[in-house]
Amino acid sequence: MTQPPPLRVSQPHVQMLCLAGFMGSGKTTVGTLLARQLAWRFVDLDDRIEEAAGLRIPGIFERLGEPAFRQIEADQLRAVLGRVVESKESIVLALGGGTYAQTGAPEFLRAAGVPVIWLDSPVEVLLARCMTMTGRPLFRDESSFRTLHAQRLPSYQQADYRVDSSGDPARVVAEVLRRGIVSTSSGEAHLVVEKPQP
């Protein structure tokens, strides 16, 4: 992710918000609810990756390997940004757990003018959530999960906003709206330019 972005997303009437965070942080659940509240479209990057590869995520890891997965992930992130600019549709984008930890990803999204919210939960909460779910090739065992989480924290910390996502998803959405990260005062949703105080 080293080339400059093709276009800036933050133009009048073109709005986009990214949700970053580790596996189990609630990106898809919170993103779906948030998009519904804002009347924006919800896009899940993992779905875009699966569609592009014609394979489910475990299949991509198994057959093509993680480096190929990361390449498709980076390509699809660019493609989503390009489509937002073209379609002038406002979207909430849930990144994959590793997307924002890819080299250059925070810089890429910042240069494109896309605000990023880090959905942060204690690693114990993330572990408990992922234990009951399948389809995550990078969830192998507790020890490697904790190690990967610790390795990625410095990346997530580069997000524009941090919101605690350990509670009920509806409350997480309410907190995003309460913090004024997206202003909906005039009936139409607008991203605020200034970073609000935590």
Task: Please give the residue ranges that form the binding site for ligand S3P (CB under 6 A).
Answer: 23, 27, 46, 57, 96-98, 136-138
Minimum CB–partner distance for residue 196 and ligand S3P (Å): 26
Please name the residues in contact with 44: beta carbons below 8 A apart, sequence gap of 6 or more. Answer: 27, 28, 31, 93, 94
Inter-residue long-range contacts of 124-127, CB under 8 Å, 24+ positions, other chains counted: 125/24, 125/166, 126/22, 126/23, 126/24, 126/25, 127/24
Minimum CB–partner distance for residue 78 and ligand S3P (Å): 16
CB-nearer residue toward ligand S3P: 45 or 112:
45
CB-nearer residue toward ligand S3P: 85 or 119:
119
Minimum CB–partner distance for residue 134 and ligand S3P (Å): 11
CB-nearer residue toward ligand S3P: 25 or 90:
25
Q: Please state at what angle helix 123-131 crosses helix 142-156, rounded to 10 degrees.
A: 130
Minimum CB–partner distance for residue 38 and ligand S3P (Å): 20
CB-nearer residue toward ligand S3P: 152 or 160:
152
Strand 91-94 with 16-20, pairing: parallel
